[in-house]
Structure 1
């Protein structure tokens, strides 16, 4: 399995999504800088068995409730019931 490579564009603004998640859905098409060796910020909440945030009191993640997966992963602002 090959490691995904994201474009490094020194001098351009950093990709905020990449900095939060360590991933970028635009991959090579993204116009922003993707610095090497970043560590995505850890969510400050409990995670369910799928690694998604449990946020009691927040709305249920619409994508998760419909498909059982979440596009935003551990950085999602919604609740992911178990």
Structure 2
């Protein structure tokens, strides 16, 4: 996550996706607040080298399998071990 790419809008509701993942695909177009100092969420499971969850008991993430990236980031419910 690189600070400065996300708008700070004090007084507006915080971007829930940004708070969960540390990322926001809308970047400057997002109407919500993106606080600079967010506390990272502790992962519930191990992460691969791209920061995506390893969940061997779940199905492979279809988006990650097809494109090599995951839209849901570390909160994805699928496996990213391939």
TM tier, smaller? 0.7 to 0.9
Please give the alpha-carbon distance, in whole angstroms, between the structure 2 residues aligned to 1:18 and 1:62. 22
User: Aligned-pair distance for 1:38?
Assistant: 1.0
TM-score, with structure 2 as normaliser: 0.79
Residue 66 of structure 2 corresponds to which residue in structure 1? 66
- Give the conservation status (yes or no) of the 8 Å contact 1:13–1:33: yes
TM-score, with structure 1 as normaliser: 0.79
Q: Which runs of 4+ in 1 moved over 4 A?
A: none
Higher strand share: 1
User: Aligned-pair distance for 1:2?
Assistant: 8.0
Q: Which stretch of the first structure deviates more once superposed, 5-14 or 28-37?
A: 5-14
Query: Number of residues paired by the alignment?
Result: 82
Gaps of 5+ in 1: none
Gaps of 5+ in 2: none
Distance 1:8-1:42 versus aligned 2 partners, 3 A rule? same
